[in-house]
């Protein structure tokens, strides 16, 4: 209790908490985009349940990993060397997660642009995917993003209570934003393609980091924000055009 009171009275701890919460929320955007796109392909009655389960699993995983911080830190230690390139468990997990994101995003893009795939979708109204399959895919990415999130948290502070509060806060924000974001993506087909492009970029970033190339997150998220801003302008332009056409008619 004395430790917690001392921590609560420390300005440095509050600054670290605010910074870490912001960082965790930003890192959670990647996970949330993937969950939104994937759950939108489920029948309507299962979508909200799948999102909550996926985000709930992310919280459980992150809190569970926080209880094994010493083991998580060891994941950054080199374990194998291939053609002169040293890899840790973290590197291999990031590469696997990046490849999974590339495969999934490319498959979804192909489904969107291939006429035969569109025909199949029209016949079935939704892409055939069970709730268990969707949760399984979400869980795979939850593991990757959770490990990356916890390692980031460990690098920013040594205080476990701060890490726990930051992780819980970020997951709560994800939970609140999940349904509105999913509806927005589902109602705007061009945003779906943009979000899939984001997933490809995130996948490539994970693979690059797995091979030891440091990619500043600020550049990645700045590019995503710029692209989103351009798409927002396009949406406003299309909306204004439709209004003009309606008035002229």
110-114, 156-160, 184-188: which has the highest mean pLDDT? 184-188
25, 170 Cβ separation under 8 angstroms: yes
Closest CA to 149 of 34, 12, 25: 25
pLDDT at 129: 57
**End-to-end Cα, the chain, rounded Å:** 70
On average, the pLDDT of the chain sits at 79
Cα separations (Å) of 65 from 51, 75, 78, 185, 225?
21, 12, 20, 31, 30
CA quadruple 72, 74, 80, 84: dihedral, nearest 10? 110
With 0-12 / 13-18 / 19 or more C-beta atoms within 10 angstroms meaning exposed / middle / buried, residue 208 is: middle
Task: Indicate if the pLDDT at residue 41 is higher than 60.
Answer: yes
Helices and strands of the chain, counted as H and E runs: 10, 2
Burial 39-53 (b: 16+ CB within 10 A, else e): bbbbeeebbeebbeb
Instruction: State the pairing for strand pair 85-88/78-82.
Output: antiparallel
Q: What phi and psi, each to the nearest 5 degrees, are found at residue 86? A: -90, 135
**For a pLDDT cut of 70, what percent of the chain falls above it?**
86
Q: What pLDDT digit, counting tens, does each position of 117-161 carry?
A: 554 554 444 444 577 888 888 888 888 877 777 777 776 677 778
- pLDDT (0 to 100) of residue 203: 85
Tens of pLDDT, residues 57-98: 888 888 887 777 667 767 778 888 888 888 888 888 888 888
Whether residue 215 contacts residue 209, with contact meaning beta carbons closer than 8 Å, is answered with yes
């Amino acid at each position: 209790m004395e430790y917690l009171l001392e921590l609560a009275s420390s300005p440095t701890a509050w600054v670290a908490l605010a910074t870490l919460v912001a960082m965790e929320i930003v890192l959670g955007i990647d996970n949330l985009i993937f969950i939104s796109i994937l759950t939108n392909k489920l029948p309507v009655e299962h979508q909200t349940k799948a999102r909550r389960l996926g985000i709930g699993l992310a919280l459980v995983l992150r809190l569970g990993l926080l209880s094994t911080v010493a083991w998580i830190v060891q994941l950054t230690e080199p374990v194998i060397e291939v053609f002169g390139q040293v890899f840790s468990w973290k590197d291999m997990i990031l590469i696997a997660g990046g490849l999974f994101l590339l495969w999934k995003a490319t498959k979804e893009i192909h489904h969107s642009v291939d006429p035969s795939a569109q025909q199949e979708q029209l016949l079935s109204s939704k892409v055939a995917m069970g709730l268990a399959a969707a949760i399984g895919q979400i869980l795979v990415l939850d593991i990757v993003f959770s490990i990356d999130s916890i390692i980031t948290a460990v690098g920013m502070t040594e205080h476990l209570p701060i890490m726990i509060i930051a992780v819980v806060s970020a997951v709560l924000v994800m939970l609140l934003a999940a349904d509105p974001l999913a509806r927005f993506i589902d109602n705007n087909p061009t945003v779906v393609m943009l979000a899939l492009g984001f997933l490809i970029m995130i996948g490539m970033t994970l693979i690059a980091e797995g091979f030891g190339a440091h990619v500043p997150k600020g550049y990645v998220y700045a590019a995503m924000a710029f692209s989103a801003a351009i798409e927002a302008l396009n949406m406003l332009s299309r909306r204004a055009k439709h209004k003009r056409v309606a008035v002229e008619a």
